[in-house]
Amino acid sequence: MNTMTLRALPAILLAVFSGAASAAAFQNWEQNAAGLGNAHAGSAAVADNAASLFFNPAGMTRLDGVQFSAGITGARPQVEFDNGGSAGAALGAGNGGDAGRWLAVPNASVSWRVNPDLAIGLGLTSPFALDLEYENRNWLGRVHAQQGEIRTRNVNPALAYRVSERVSIGLGVNYQSLDVDLANATSRLEGDDGSWGWNAGALFTLSPAMRVGISYRSAIKHELEGTANGQAARADIKLPDTAILSVWQQVSDRWEAMGDLSYTRWNTLKRLSFVDRNSGALLANEPFSYGNSWRFAWGAAYRLSDAFKLKFGLAYERSPVGNRGRTAYVPDSDSLRLSVGGQWQAGRYGRVDVGYAYLLMKDAKIAQNRVVGGLANTLRGEYEAGMHTVGVQYSVGF
């Protein structure tokens, strides 16, 4: 009876908890190209390389000796606007072309199993990223957006402790730097900051063939220092926190299955207001009005031989951006991701993982208003968007 219960539990969890590799708005889920091929399903439970400490630091207790992992993912969004009644005195002409650009995101991590119960590690990642530029800068929405960049760099030292044969816990601190550059035909907002946050997790080994992981990454508040239209300014922005529940199971000698449920509290981000650094007077305001988002993912891996493994996965993510909060900087919508990948074990020479994913995004309606020179300008229409993502990861142990 107990054996049947343990075997049924993973199937139930996998059916209920599935999650997207893509992350909504400008959150970047691609912190580990090894997980790209299965849509990052099981992200907090797989724990098979040093880079997994981003998703759950407790997983480091499963890694022997010193482990090193480095990789890079490249994402190419396709973002095209279709006009549907835009109006206003300051609007330009044309739909702007494809606003997507290639964005490369590297990562590197190292972990050290100090003794059977204690491990330490360090991860270098980029949890949030945006790179958007309209081909025709004089397009219909030029007063709403021409170019937008958001960059983060995250340094994450962490430690993990094995409480028992079945339970491990982990804790990390994060120093995150943030750069923001948003430009349209009437304004340019620039700012940067570095601030602190934390992450924690637990890993439960229910049997040799099944693990369940939970993890949490805190929100981080940034106090940007920069300029608004060339004038010294500051702005506060709070990037969201995320919770993950994951499951991994060895179904047979050749098959693995995994799933995720994650929840991101984007409602911390309502607006980005730049004020005069000295007087505090409002200089510029960019609305966001985000709600919270969740994602489901399911993935699997099939071992072809001792050296080769195939991966695949699918994921769905509910966007925090509704029709009222959608802007030309982040025309996000609900999405479905399809992923495939592979793994090559080269023995003492390490391991190479590769992956590819295509993101299908729901057509997104927009009705964004902006007042320029006392006159209202409305960008009204629909966005068609998708994204190609490729990645490669190298991992080795000493």
Could you tell me which residue, 232 or 288, shows the higher pLDDT?
A: 232
Q: What is the pTM of this model?
A: 0.90
Considering only CA atoms, which of 127, 147, 120, 122 is closest in space to residue 136?
147
Considering only CA atoms, which of 300, 338, 301 is closest in space to residue 317?
338
Phi, psi torsion values for 268, nearest 5 degrees: -70, -15
Residues 158 and 170: beta-carbon distance below 8 Å: yes
At 11, the pLDDT band (50, 70, 90 cuts) reads very low
pLDDT digits (tens, 9 = 90+) for 110-167: 999 999 999 999 999 999 999 999 999 999 999 999 999 999 999 999 999 999 999 9
| Residue 136: Cβ within 10 Å count | 15
Residues 103 and 78: beta-carbon distance below 8 Å: no
Indicate the residue type of 194: G
pLDDT digits (tens, 9 = 90+) for 229-239: 999 999 999 99
**Which residues are within 8 A (CB) of 3 and not within 5 positions of it... i.e. 6 or more apart?**
none
What pLDDT does residue 23 have? 56
The domain limits of the chain are 2-397
Residue 310 to residue 233: CA distance in whole angstroms? 51
* CATH T-level assignment (fold) for domain 2-397: Porin (2.40.160)
pLDDT digits (tens, 9 = 90+) for 317-355: 999 987 777 899 999 999 999 999 999 999 889 999 999
| Residue 286: Cβ within 10 Å count | 21
What pLDDT does residue 324 have? 74
**Which residues are within 8 A (CB) of 363 and not within 5 positions of it... i.e. 6 or more apart?**
333, 382, 383, 384
Mean pLDDT value across residues 72-86: 94
